[in-house]
Amino acid sequence: MLTLDKIYHAAFVLKDVARKTDLIEAPRLSKDCQLYLKTENLQATGSFKVRGAYYKISQLSKEESDKGVIACSAGNHAQGVALAATRRGIKSIVCMPDGAPIMKVENTKNLGAEVCLVPGTYDDAHDKAVELQEETGMTFIHPYDDEQVIAGQGTIGLEILDQLPDVDAVIVPVGGGGLISGVAFAIKSLKPDVKVYGVQAEGAPSMYRSLHEHKYQTLSAVSTFADGIQVKTPGELTYKLCEEYVDDIVTVTEDETAAAILSLMENQKLVAEGAGAVPVAAALFHKLPIEGKKVVCLVSGGNIDVNILNRVITRGLVMSGRKANLTIALEDKPGQLQQVADIVSRCGSNVVSVLHDGSDPNMPISSCFLKLTLETRDNAQIEQIRQELTKAGFQLVAERV
C-alpha cells in the first residue's frame, strides 16, 4: 500500500542519487498566472525516472539483486534503471521500442544496461520484457504501475511543497500515470487544497479517456512525438490513484507541444522533450482554470532526439506565428514578384525562401504559383500580410502550412 512514509523513505534513499532540481519562476511564459517550472529535465539522466527506478531497485533482496533486473521503456525509465542497477552492481536488461530516440538507446547502453530493441510501441516492448522475465527469473522493474516506483516519483511532490509552500496548482505530464500518481498522492496528503492536473498528448489519451469515461481501458493505437507518454494502457494502480487524487486531465495537440518546446528554449533557455513540455503547453493554450494562480509545471525530461528537434522547432514557429508559408496564384509577368516583396517588406516581415512554380497542370500557361516562406512576428502580422496582398489583387491559395 502506498503511504506518505514510503515517499519520505524514498526521499531519504535518493538524497545522494537524485538531484533536488530547481524550481524556477517563468514570467515570460504566461501573463495569466504566476508560472514556475520544476526542472526535472536537469535531473541525472535528464529525466525524473531515475527517482522511481532507483528506489525500487534499492529495495530488492539480495536474492533478487543476484538474478538481475529487467525493464521496458521508451527511453527515460531505461536510463534510470541502467544507472540504478549499475551503481548497485546489478545486471540489467532493458526492452525498448525500435523507434526510441537513438540518444536514449545509446545513453542506456552507456549506463551499463543490455538493450533489446523490439519492433512496435512501448506496449510491445513491455510484452517482450515480461516474456524475458519469465524465462530468466530476473526482477521486472515496471516503469509506472508499482508502489515503490510511484513512491520514488512522489518525492517530487515533497520538493515542490518545500520550494513553493503556497502553490495553488501543479501540472504534470501523464503516460502510464506513475509520475502524477506519486506527485498527487504526496501533495494531496500534505496539502489537499492544491490542485493537481494531468496532461496527455491528444494522440495518446489513455488515462484521459479512462478517467473521463470512468472505465479503465486500453487504446487500439497511439501516435505522438512525445515518446515518453506514448502509452496505450495506463497502470491499474495508477488509474485508481488518479481517480482519487487527480483533479482533472486534459490533452494537448502536437503543434501546441511543439510551441511549448520552442517557448521553453527561447524564454527560459531550457530544452524539454515532448513529454516534458506538455504541462507548459496546457498552461500556454489555456487548457486549465489557472488564471491568477501560483502554478508549477513539471518539466519531466529533456531527452529529445536532435534528429527531430529541427522539425519540432519548425512546427513551434508555425504554431506561434513566427513562420508562415504563403502560396499566391498570379499572372506570370514582370514586376509581380517585386510587388509581393514590397508588400511583405512594408508589413515588416522577412522572406527566407521563394519558389516560382509554373508547372502545375491546373494553372493557365500564362500563370504560376509563387510560394513564399516568411519569418514573422506573430499571427496578427501574418493576417496583416494576407490582407494587404488580397487588397492589392493577389489571390492567396494557401495562407499557412
The contacts of residue 181 (CB under 8 Å, 6+ apart) are 2, 144, 150, 153, 154, 235, 237, 238, 241, 242, 245
Q: What is the biggest distance separating any 2 CA atoms in the chain, rounded to whole angstroms?
A: 82
Comparing 308 with 139, the larger pLDDT belongs to: 139
Joined together, the cell numbers standing for residue 84 give 540504478
E strand map for 211-315: 248-252, 294-299
Joined together, the cell numbers standing for residue 111 give 549506463
CA distance 184 to 173: 12
Joined together, the cell numbers standing for residue 58 give 534499492
Residue 122 has pLDDT above 80, yes or no: no
- Torsions phi, psi of 295, nearest 5? -125, 135
CATH class of 321-397: alpha beta
pLDDT tens figures, 15-32: 999 999 999 999 999 989
Q: What is the reported pLDDT for 400? A: 44
Residue spans of the domains in the chain: they are 1-320, 321-397
Comparing 111 with 319, the larger pLDDT belongs to: 111
Residue 362 has pLDDT above 70, yes or no: no
Average pLDDT over residues 190-209: 97
CA distance 289 to 248: 10
Count other Cβ atoms within 10 Å, centred on residue 19.
Answer: 14
368 band by pLDDT with thresholds 50, 70 and 90 = confident
| Share of residues in the chain with pLDDT > 70 (%) | 97
Residue 93 has pLDDT above 90, yes or no: yes
The contacts of residue 280 (CB under 8 Å, 6+ apart) are 29, 37, 260, 263, 264, 272, 297, 299
pLDDT tens figures, 160-195: 999 999 999 999 999 999 999 999 999 999 999 999
pLDDT tens figures, 244-283: 999 999 999 999 999 999 999 999 999 999 999 999 999 9
Exposure string of 159-190, with b = 16+ CB inside 10 Å and e = fewer, is bbbebbeebbbbbbbbbbbbbbbbbbbbbbbe
Residue 401 has pLDDT above 50, yes or no: no
CA distance 101 to 17: 25
Joined together, the cell numbers standing for residue 365 give 500557361
Count other Cβ atoms within 10 Å, centred on residue 327.
Answer: 17
pLDDT tens figures, 45-82: 999 999 999 999 999 999 999 999 999 987 899 999 99
Options 3.40.30.120, 3.20.20.370, 3.40.50.1100, 3.10.20.600; CATH for 1-320 is: 3.40.50.1100
Mean pLDDT score of the chain, rounded to an integer? 93
Known catalytic residues? 49, 300
- Torsions phi, psi of 329, nearest 5? -90, 120
Taking each helix axis from N to C end, the angle separating 178-190 and 147-163, rounded to the nearest 10 degrees, works out to 50
